[in-house]
Amino acid sequence: MSGSSIESAGVTLAQQMRDGMRRLASGVCVVTANNLLKQRFAMTASSVTSLSDNPPSLLVCINTDSRINQPLLETQSFCINILSASHQLVSNTCASPNTDEQRFEVGDWVKNQETGLYYLNDAEAVFFCEKVNVLQHGTHNIFIGNITKVSTSQAEATPLIYLNGGYV
């Protein structure tokens, strides 16, 4: 690797990993879920991955300290909203230490009448999922969901991309 250093003196391997991963561009999503009391939760996530198309499924990685972790553990349904470039404020709001209800004050949130989950009406795509497995690894839970419904925007795709600590 010309012009780069593979090792950084005095920096932990965990920090080196975080520094390296900042160089990987990723789409930005908001995960929504309800708890058993039907309170709604939302969190910005960049660790969302398609898993399989048979059955159609995806996974999302959630820090166990996140407020949305417990609702995801105790209920079966969750929703993944792929954000567009116009959703920077939604992303920042759902990533901030706001209360959970404040996270829904920004954006065009709609309640799905079948699931009770909230989704962004103008998202690039929305995936409604039923949880089928949870794996714990280190500080995170990996939630695997089978997709039950998909809604995609009819507009040209302009996804919100995160790279090196900022939006591009």
- Check residue 6 and give its pLDDT: 60
Sorted by where each begins, the domain ranges of the chain are 26-167
b/e per residue, 24-55, with b = 16+ CB within 10 A? eebebbbbbbbbeeeebbbbbbbebeeeeeee
pTM, 2 dp = 0.92
pLDDT at 97: 87
Instruction: Provide the residue-wise pLDDT of the chain in tens; the chain has 168 residues.
Output: 555 556 667 889 999 999 999 999 999 999 999 999 999 999 999 999 999 999 999 999 999 999 999 999 999 999 999 999 999 999 999 999 878 899 999 999 999 999 999 999 999 999 999 999 999 999 999 999 999 999 999 999 999 999 999 999
Q: What does CATH list as the number for 26-167?
A: 2.30.110.10
Task: Please tell me the predicted confidence (pLDDT) of residue 91.
Answer: 98
- Evaluate the omega torsion of the peptide bond into residue 159 and state whether it is cis, within 30 degrees of 0: no
Instruction: Supply the pLDDT for residue 99.
Output: 83
Residue 7: the pLDDT is: 61
CB 62 within 8 A of CB 140: yes
pLDDT of residue 5: 57
